[in-house]
Chain A
């Protein structure tokens, strides 16, 4: 009963089109932002920032990108990590070779580079669909890291293509503590998430969903399939590219393009599936889930090992992780194909009535 909408009338279309039309939602989002921007920096320690919060945000952004492509536009992609790699390497080169370029401009331009590459690899989508398209993105996933390592120029001729990100500096202020990096990443991700939400509720978002649901009908009502699909690839790759730049600059510092591999692409896909396809919130929920799961499993296994005096071989955790991922994917696809986001929606609907039964 706390989530009642009763008494909140929307008397204009403008009011109805608002991002958060229900007062409780607005309050909740404001509270969340307050916690994220103010509360967390005060309460969290360095471990939380570097090992949990920053990767969570970085991968949320990548998951957001993939969700736009696969969840909203219906084009399956197994190449998200490759586009992250493009973003990381592009940002590095821009910072290295263009003196005086502002950091945020580097990030955005890195995203644009990734967008162009993404659109190029998206061209096959004009002729092929479904999981045949996944193969095309696999080509990207194998080819791009190879290229980034082989062409020495990309990594300034370092061995095995490793790039080490320069310190982050905006207008003379250096972001070097974990808390500062966290706030920077949070700001970028929050703004891009807002942009994504805006896009999916505008004409382009409707076009993406139309192409996903029934492209013949979409064509018939005047939507240009080619343009829509390529835009989806471009925007999605932009988001992955920026995520890649953040990955390099705010998370790992030193990037081996080979780390941004198929395994990571699968991981991002799992975030989208578990979190919820076609949902902005879902991208975040999925990223949180996948980021926290290994930690949870590690704790659980250590506990079980001590409790039952097992003698588990080293590396057991990562195997169990694979098992858990696999099982969860299948579970979610069968039980709730729309993921955690849908479960959240159902919870909200129950909250409308709670504590009353009906």
Chain B
């Protein structure tokens, strides 16, 4: 794996995204870009539209206006599985693991996209399917090693503590070898130690695999430490965009967090 410093090339750009549900405007005319190889944070008070923004990027929500430009392709409506096939992976705020399966199976499911054996070949198993399963199992085991979850690989995910579940979700997202990784509050509900571990993993993913990362995070310390640029949303609008230091000093941002009426 080669380390790729941010080389200035734009990997993802959202332009003038507006999204409403019924009468509620979740996002209003939001635009920003993400350079290849960087770690970009999206922050803002609760209800600002951060998760909705991620949902728009990977096609779960379809915006009424605006476009998403990813790897040169511009679209307004993307199907989630199309987005996955193009190289976007994500984790969810409330863990979206497959509760009925083990850790290993959950991560292997992340590789389903890359498997080619037909139904018939899978029914027979020996031959092409067995070879494929082993090849992908190797890859998955590399990720398991990387995230240090070997000891729980056969455990059903429903039995795992919250912090480990979050790590397994990250593993599943990584299994797809994505170009862009969207993390929705990866450190929510974690104590200090767990947060440090997760930060380290996120940084490792970025440095070792060169994955571009967009993450939503509430913990300012984490945001300051690991992100290179920050977008601030409030009531669905973008109110700041820049380096962590710039954003922290921005009076509009401070007002938003303090709840000053505007």
Interface residues of A (CB under 8 A from B): 13-14, 17, 195-196, 198-199, 201-207, 209-210, 212-214, 216-225, 231, 235, 278
Contacts and interface: CB of A to CB of B under 8 A. Distances in A.
A278 B85 CA distance: 28
Contact of B112 (A201, A206, A217, A235): A206
Contacts of A231: 119
Interface stretch (B67-75, B101-109, B204-212, B238-246): B101-109
Nearest to B85: A222
Contacts of B119: 199, 204, 231, 235
A221 B109 contact: yes
Q: Is the interface of A mostly helix, strand, loop or mixed?
A: helix
Nearest to A227: B81
B203 to A, nearest CB: 23
A210 B98 CA distance: 6
Given A214-B98, A221-B110, 15 more contacts: A17-B134, A198-B122, A198-B123, A199-B119, A199-B123, A206-B105, A213-B98, A213-B99, A216-B80, A217-B96, A219-B80, A219-B81, A220-B84, A221-B176, A222-B81
B98 A209 contact: yes
B122 A204 contact: yes
Contact of A206 (B83, B109, B123): B109
Contact of A209 (B80, B89, B100, B137): B100
Contacts of A199: 119, 122-123
B129 A221 contact: no
A220 B58 contact: yes
Contacts of B97: 213-214, 217
A86 B109 CA distance: 34
Interface string B121-137: 01111000110011001
Contacts of B110: 221
Contacts of A220: 58, 60, 80-81, 83-84, 89-90, 96
23 contacts: A13-B137, A17-B134, A195-B123, A195-B124, A198-B125, A199-B123, A203-B122, A206-B108, A207-B109, A209-B98, A209-B100, A210-B98, A214-B99, A219-B80, A220-B60, A220-B90, A220-B96, A221-B109, A221-B112, A221-B113, A221-B176, A222-B113, A223-B109
Contacts of A203: 112, 115, 117, 122
Most chain A C-beta atoms within 10 Å of own C-beta, residue among B81, B101, B108: B81
B180 to A, nearest CB: 13
Nearest to B114: A222
A212 B105 CA distance: 14
B228 interface: no
B15 interface: no
Contacts of A222: 81, 84-85, 112-113, 176
B87 to A, nearest CB: 10
Interface string B162-198: 0000000000110010000000000000000000000
A9 to B, nearest CB: 15
Given A221-B89, A221-B112, A222-B81, A278 B124 contact: no
Contacts of A225: 81
A209 B101 contact: yes
A339 to B, nearest CB: 14
A249 B117 CA distance: 34
Nearest to A338: B100
A210 B125 CA distance: 20
A222 B86 CA distance: 9
A13 B83 CA distance: 31
A209 B80 CA distance: 18
Closest 3 CB pairs of A and B: A222-B84, A217-B96, A222-B113
B201 interface: no
A225 B97 CA distance: 16
A220 B58 CA distance: 8
A216 B84 CA distance: 12
B235 interface: no
A15 B138 CA distance: 13
Given A13-B134, A206-B101, A213-B98, A221 B172 contact: yes
A207 B122 CA distance: 13
B141 interface: yes
Nearest to B169: A217
A104 B105 CA distance: 35
Nearest to A200: B122
Contacts of A198: 122-125, 129
Nearest to B88: A220
Contacts of A196: 123
Nearest to B58: A220
A199 B117 CA distance: 11
Given A220-B58, A221-B172, A222-B176, A213 B100 contact: yes
A212 B98 CA distance: 8
A210 B109 contact: yes
B219 to A, nearest CB: 24
A262 B177 CA distance: 47
Nearest to B131: A14
Nearest to B105: A206
